[in-house]
Amino acid sequence: MKYLSDQFTLTNYLNQIDKLNMNNNLINVDYLKQVYYKSLLPLDKINEFLVFFENDHADEVTKVLISIMNVAITSTLLDNFETLDDKKQFLRLCQDDYQNPKILDFLIDKFPDSQQNILESIERSLLSAQKFIIEG
Amino acid sequence: MPAQTQQPSEKVRNLKRFLEKSKTNFYRDNDELLSWLQDRNLKVENLGEFDPTESNRSIVSNNSVESKVINEFNQISSKEKLLESKISAEEFNSIFEKLNDLLSLPAGQLENQSELYLEQQLSDLLGFDIVADLDDHRLNHSTGVMGSEAHLKRSPNDQLKNHLNLLEAGLDRSRSAFGWFVNHGDITKEAEDFEKYYFSLQLYQLQDWNTNFKDLKSWYKFRKMVVINPAEKIAIVGVVGNIDHKNQFQHQFGASPEVIIKGRIWSPKSQGKVLIMFVDDPKNEVPLGPIYFDKLFKSDR
């Protein structure tokens, strides 16, 4: 008999691994599913980024990487909001339930380009972080 | 590539430095929000973070499902305040001891005396009537093991991403045996709650199902019931939202992901064992959702 949490983790892993279709998957999806933009995450690129580090550091790096993406994405999206109150409203949503994909729907409703903004932000973060690590 | 000659810890340190730099830039660019963010203890970099081993839990780790359940434990909701408890601490403990004993027996119906005792005591504790037999309807099992189900489609166009929580549980490919929760238009709050707190019962096993399935189906559709997990002292009020086709010897009941998680149905102490009863609520006054007995009991002391 399986625990539900086991089933969740297993399903999640299987789905993610299917998507990745790679042999050297280093991603711990438990960290990635804590964000509302999880459906937009370029798993293959994140995996490539993780390969750059020692396997033992994969979890730690993933956590730091998510923090970097959170900052970059939030910063980009906040620029779209005109008033301070709107910015606060968005941040309140994030604070209340950051893993809820409805935040993404809310953003797309307000700004149809949000999805593109997020994707670009992620790409930029990965590239900049990589460059920073190399160049210091 | 120069970085590949670095020690691993150096790379990680550099990555952390990059994060610090990004944070500095963010707070500099959004200085008009700085005091507001500080007041709310909101750290953008920590959003969504969930690390149960961390001693200094960030405000955002409260967003995890587990933390939400714990938070709910610590809150006395207005709903719970209304519920009256009329029993002593001794009785309170003996109810749950008895229930735990009964649930260690094979799944089935309770014998009359235990059933009457539990109906009365649990109704007093909860503040609304619960019964094993309602309008001459009775399940084959009052006690048994509850398995986890996927989310159900509430309308023909419903998608997994529209469900608020626990998306990992997936979405059932077929609609509920009772049909859609809404036939057209937007998903209502009621439909959302019905799907969130649904139970799946093995109605096909009822003795008169073959001869009377139309009436039975209509009577059971969205019928309010309560599941009690005595090991964790949690009850969940929900509705009958689906008919279970699975192996009745393995699981006697099924439930939505929310019921399983919020009711801690599969905690190590519970192991899926529950008691299920009808809620006698002709005026539709009992709200759906979890009820925490410990909190309920204390709130009335």
Rounded to a whole number, what is the distance in Å from the CA of B264 to chain A's nearest CA? 10
CA B197 – CA B182 distance, rounded (Å): 16
Q: Cα dist. A111→A48, A78, A101, A102, B75 in Å?
A: 30, 11, 15, 14, 36
Residue B52 lies in a domain: yes
* Calpha distance B232→B36 (Å, rounded): 39
Whether residues B181 and B89 fall in one domain: yes
The amino acid occupying position A113 is D
The CA R_g of chain A, rounded to the nearest whole Å, is: 16
Mutate to test the interface with A, among B5, B11, B19, B20 (most CBs of A within 10 A): B19
Co-location of B175 and B265 in the same domain: yes
CB count within 10 Å of CB B190 equals: 13
**Rounded Cα–Cα distance for residues A52 and A58 (Å):** 9
Q: What is the pLDDT at residue B161? A: 83
Q: Is B237 inside a domain boundary?
A: yes
Distance CA B134, CA B128 (A): 14
Q: Is the pLDDT higher at B154 or at B73?
A: B154
> Is-contact A106 A86, C-beta < 8 A?
no
Report yes or no: B166 at the A interface, CB cutoff 8 Å. yes
Between chain A and chain B, the number of residue pairs with CB atoms below 8 A apart is 140
Tally of domains in chain B: 2
Q: Which amino acid is at B253?
A: F
Q: Are residues B106 and B161 in the same domain?
A: yes
- Give the pLDDT score at B89: 75
Q: Which residue has the tokens 């033992």?
A: A56
- If DSSP states are collapsed to H, E and C, what string results for A62-129? HHHHHHHHHHHHHHHHHHHCCCHHHHHHHHHHHHHCCCCCHHHHHHHHHCCCHHHHHHHHHHHHHHHH
Assess whether B212 and B145 both reside in one domain. yes
For residues A65 and A130, the answer to whether their CB atoms sit within 8 Å is: no
CA–CA dist A48, B267 (Å, integer): 37
- Rounded to a whole number of angstroms, the distance from the CA of B124 to the nearest CA of chain A is 32
* pLDDT band at residue B55 using 50, 70 and 90 as cut-offs: very low
Q: CATH code at B117?
A: 2.40.40.10
Q: What is the pLDDT of residue A76?
A: 92
Q: Do A70 and B168 touch (CB under 8 A)?
A: no
Cβ atoms < 10 Å from Cβ of B31: 8
Interface pTM, i.e. ipTM:
0.83
> Residue B91's pLDDT is what?
78
User: How confident is the model at residue A6, as a pLDDT?
Assistant: 41
CB within 8 Å: B33 and A91: yes
Reported as a single tens digit per residue, the pLDDT across B145-197 is 999 999 999 988 888 888 877 888 889 988 899 999 986 777 788 888 899 99
3-state SS class at A133: helix
Q: Are B24 and B133 in the same domain?
A: no
Average pLDDT over every residue of B252-257: 93
Does the pLDDT of residue B88 top 80, yes or no? no
**Is the pLDDT assigned to residue B141 strictly greater than 50?**
yes
Residue B119 sits in the same domain as residue B249? yes
B267-A101-B187 Cα angle (round to 5): 90
DSSP secondary structure letter of residue A39: G
Looking at per-residue pLDDT, the higher value among A53 and B58 belongs to A53
Please indicate whether, in this complex, the C-beta atoms of B16 and A63 are within 8 angstroms of each other: no
Residue B87 pLDDT > 70, yes or no?
A: no
* Whether pLDDT at B127 is above 80: yes
pLDDT over 70 at B292, yes or no:
yes
Average pLDDT, chain B: 80
Q: Which two tokens stand for residue A107?
A: 């953003």
- With an 8 Å Cβ cutoff, is A132 touching chain B? yes
Q: Are strands B133-134 and B289-292 parallel, antiparallel or unpaired?
A: unpaired
- A29 three-state secondary structure: helix
Q: State what percent of residues in chain B have pLDDT above 90.
A: 33
Q: Which of B35, B63, B91 is the last residue of a domain?
A: B63
How would DSSP label each residue in chain B? -GGGGS-HHHHHHHHHHHHHHHHHHHHHHTGGGHHHHHHTT--GGGTT---TT-SS--GGGGGSHHHHHHHHHH---HHHHH------HHHHHHHHHHHHHHHTSPSBPPPHHHHHHHHHHHHHHHTS-EESEETTEE-S-SEEEEEE--B--SSTT--GGGS-S-GGG-B-SSPPTT--S-SSSSPPHHHHHHHHTEEEE-GGGSTTHHHHHHHHHHHHTT-EEEEEETTTTEEEEEEEEEE--S-TTT-SEEE-HHHHHHTTTTSTTTTTEEEEEEE--TT--SPPEEEEHHHHHHHT-
What total number of domains does chain A contain? 1
Q: Which amino acid is located at B104 in the chain? A: S
> B12 in contact with A at a CB cutoff of 8 Å?
yes
pLDDT beyond 80 at B296: no
Lowest-confidence segment of A44-58, A100-114, B201-215, B286-300 by average pLDDT: B286-300
Confidence of residue B116 (pLDDT cuts 50, 70, 90): confident
So what's the pLDDT on residue B76? 38
Residue A91's domain comprises: 4-135
- Shortest CA distance from A10: residue in chain B: B168
Q: Are residues B117 and B243 in the same domain?
A: yes
Please return the burial class of A22, using the count of CB atoms within 10 Å of its CB with bins 0-12, 13-18 and 19+.
Answer: middle
Select from A88, A98, A136 the Cβ nearest to the Cβ of B47: A98
**Domain limits at B53?**
2-63
B76 in any annotated domain? no
pLDDT band at B38 (very low <50, low <70, confident <90, very high): confident
Residue B265 · residue A3 · CB < 8 Å: no
* Chain B: closest CA distance from residue A104 (Å): 10
Distance of alpha carbon B240 from alpha carbon B198, whole angstroms: 6
Give residue A69's identity as a one-letter amino acid code. Answer: M
pLDDT in tens, chain A (136 residues): 333 334 444 455 455 545 544 445 667 777 788 899 988 998 888 888 888 888 888 888 998 999 999 999 999 999 999 888 889 989 988 988 898 888 998 899 888 889 999 999 999 999 999 888 887 6
Q: Say how many residues make up chain A.
A: 136
Tell me which residue of B260, B255, B261, B229 sits closest to B240, measured CA to CA.
B255
- Same domain, yes or no, for B219 and B142? yes
